[in-house]
Amino acid sequence: MRPPIHELRGAALPAAGMAGALLLAGLLSGDACADSRARRGDPEALRLLTAAVDAARNVAYEGTRTLATWSPDQASTAQVKVVHTPGAGTSFTDEKGPRGHRPDTGAADAGLTASALALLARNYRLTRAADGTVCGRRARVVEAHRPGGGVAGRFWLDADTGLLLRRELVDAAGRRIAESGFIDLRVTRPPENTTMALRSGRAPATDVGTVSAARPWTDHLDGGELAALRAAGWRIPDTLPGRLRLNDARRSDGRDVLHLTYTDGLATVSVFVQRGVLDDRRLVGWKRGPRAVYSRDALRQWALASDGEHVYTVVTEAPESTAVTIARALPPDRSAVRSRLARGARRIASWVNPFD
């Protein structure tokens, strides 16, 4: 039996928030399919998750979060200390020492967001389960059920503040494949100088310069920019296998790499697209599969593919088979294309934050 996250002591996907009232109205008055699926679930479960989206922005807290993932070959963990100040954002220090900062305006990069919750309610049946306890705090538990039956994920939500305390992904056989959440948490009162913290670019009591500068995804792409990139030959699908939908798109400061985020509301997949081709001589420790798709088992599952013009790097906490399936679906089927030149996997790895 896999140990619970508090025994692994290993970073979680930080929660993020939007305006809950607007979200709930959108979910209950959206298209017929989404509306029907939401009604088949428990309205109380949806209400709790909606409150969690708001709480992530509005509640001041500090603590330690962990992420644990399991595969047939290994178990991996990571850990981060976090401080969230409403309006200023979240500062974090990982277990190896580097520090970073995410403004509240960048919350779409992290955890439970309004758009992700809309997809969650569309793709899964949400129900209440028996209450639990996380970090000594009473938690409301919500389960996400697959259309064909079976639990796909669970959420533990703080009964006092609404914060997302823990999240769990479960495979079709009922095995946990990923678990993220707090192993200690203290709800705090936000300082009065939040505005000053924003203007100075520093969160209270935290030096955030080094890692913030290393996160290159400041250029958010709108619909017009995505259309222009597609016309220029970049492959940016709106959907991927497994009911995954494009939820966010950004471009690196150097403008040569795209970061596409896909989700079905529960699982999240990052796809990095860059011009070039793979140099398979550099992929030591990677497994080569059909159609020259390479995969690697780590804290997150990785898969690489190339169409001869672009390299696609898939990173997800979902099983390796999911990462490989998505990587195969991204490039056109050009079996004659050979892997050559290019570097990039190492460059991408330096940008991936395990806590996103």
pLDDT tens digit string along 144-162?
Answer: 999 988 999 999 999 999 9
Residues 204 and 226 in one domain: no
**Position 356 in a domain:** no
Residues 163 and 254 in one domain: no
**Residue pointed to by tokens 């222009």:** 228
**Position 340 in a domain:** yes
Closest C-alpha to 227, from 218, 238, 219:
238
- Strand 244-251 relative to strand 239-240, pairing: antiparallel
Instruction: Say yes or no to pLDDT of 278 above 90.
Output: no
Distances (CA, A) of 97 to 12, 94, 179, 200, 211: 16, 5, 23, 22, 11
Residues 78 and 145 in one domain: yes
Instruction: Provide the whole-model pTM.
Output: 0.73
Residues 29 and 157 in one domain: yes
* Region at 38 (left for phi over 0; alpha for psi -120 to 50; beta for the rest): alpha
Q: Rank 74-78, 163-167, 174-178, 276-280 by mean pLDDT and report only the highest.
A: 163-167
The sign of the dihedral angle between the CA atoms of 324, 327, 328, 329 is positive
**Position 272 in a domain:** yes
Question: Which residue among 182, 199, 214 closes a domain?
Answer: 214
* Token digits of residue 42: 């428990």
For the chain, what is the domain count?
2
d(CA 258, CA 219): 10
* Token digits of residue 164: 């997302």
Residues 155 and 226 in one domain: no
Residues 248 and 261 in one domain: yes
The sign of the dihedral angle between the CA atoms of 273, 276, 277, 278 is negative
Residues 181 and 234 in one domain: no
Question: Which residue among 165, 189, 214 closes a domain?
Answer: 214
Residues 94 and 224 in one domain: no
Tell me the residue range of the domain where 111 lies: 5-214
pLDDT above 90 covers a percentage of the chain that reads 37
Distances (CA, A) of 117 to 46, 77, 243, 247, 320: 9, 26, 14, 11, 24
State mean pLDDT over 207-233: 71
Question: Which residue among 180, 214, 248 closes a domain?
Answer: 214
**Position 304 in a domain:** yes
Least confident of 2-11, 92-101, 211-220, 254-263: 2-11
CB 156 within 8 A of CB 139: yes
At 195, which CATH number? 2.50.20
State mean pLDDT over 107-132: 83
Residues 33 and 171 in one domain: yes
Instruction: Say yes or no to pLDDT of 37 above 60.
Output: no
CB 343 within 8 A of CB 275: no
CB 166 within 8 A of CB 64: no
At 264, which CATH number? 3.30.200.100
**Position 283 in a domain:** yes
Instruction: Say yes or no to pLDDT of 77 above 90.
Output: no
**Position 9 in a domain:** yes
Distances (CA, A) of 285 to 5, 230, 282, 294, 299: 28, 33, 9, 10, 15
Residues 105 and 163 in one domain: yes
What residue type is assigned to position 157 of the chain? L
Residues 272 and 123 in one domain: no
Closest C-alpha to 166, from 299, 56, 317, 65:
65
Residues 186 and 37 in one domain: yes
**Position 196 in a domain:** yes
